[in-house]
Amino acid sequence: MSPLRLILASASPRRRDVLRQLGLDAEVRPARLDEALEPGEGPVEHVERLARAKAELVALDVPDALVIGGDTIVLRDERVLGKPETEDQAVQMLMSLAGRSHEVLSGLALAGRHGVVSGISRTAVRFRDFDTATAERYVRSREPLDKAGAYGIQGLGAALTEGVDGDYYAVVGFPVGLFMRLLGRAGWRYDFGRLERART
């Protein structure tokens, strides 16, 4: 039996890092698609639709593989905070999160011969209170500029956080608990460094 071909339909180095932490080596084949909100679409529907669309798009070319699609957004008072376009916008986003809690929605989908299974993970993140000068110093590191909500919890942005209620890895961009559940629904089992067909 040939080994499973695992493909990550995302250019995110953070998602690949989490897979490597699990002992899983995935090819990276980013899916290119329009990530704009559709009319009438809520944040929950949006993040799961994008995860599914990314996995399905890449799976069309590699039907024998197990393709992982993911998408993550930051919500503050039900408003989506995407990736900042400028340093000033990054500072504004960070100050809107300072001293309060916000929510991270992380969608994940697995596509392959089983079809597509997907779900979302919701995690609450609480930031400590900090001033504008602190936000500006963090932005000068350039870490926040390619991240939803303008921070990376797995990097320097950890210094801004006070607590996480939920899956920490969902905030990083790859909800591990959800991944394990989806593997089971797709007929696979994680065996600490490799994936095996689940026994029926």
Per DSSP, helices labelled H in the chain are 13-21, 43-59, 87-97, 132-140, 168-172, 176-185
What's the CA gap between 24 and 18, in Å, rounded?
A: 9
φ and ψ at residue 37, rounded to 5 degrees: -65, 140
What's the CA gap between 187 and 88, in Å, rounded?
A: 46
Please identify every residue annotated as catalytic: 71
In this structure, what token pair is assigned to residue 128?
A: 């400590």
What's the CA gap between 198 and 200, in Å, rounded?
A: 6
Residues whose CB is less than 8 angstroms from the CB of residue 75 and which lie 6 or more positions away in sequence, other chains included: 43, 81, 102, 103, 104, 105
Pairing of strands 27-28, 6-8: parallel
What's the CA gap between 87 and 89, in Å, rounded?
A: 5
User: Other CB atoms closer than 10 Å to residue 194's CB: what's the count?
Assistant: 13
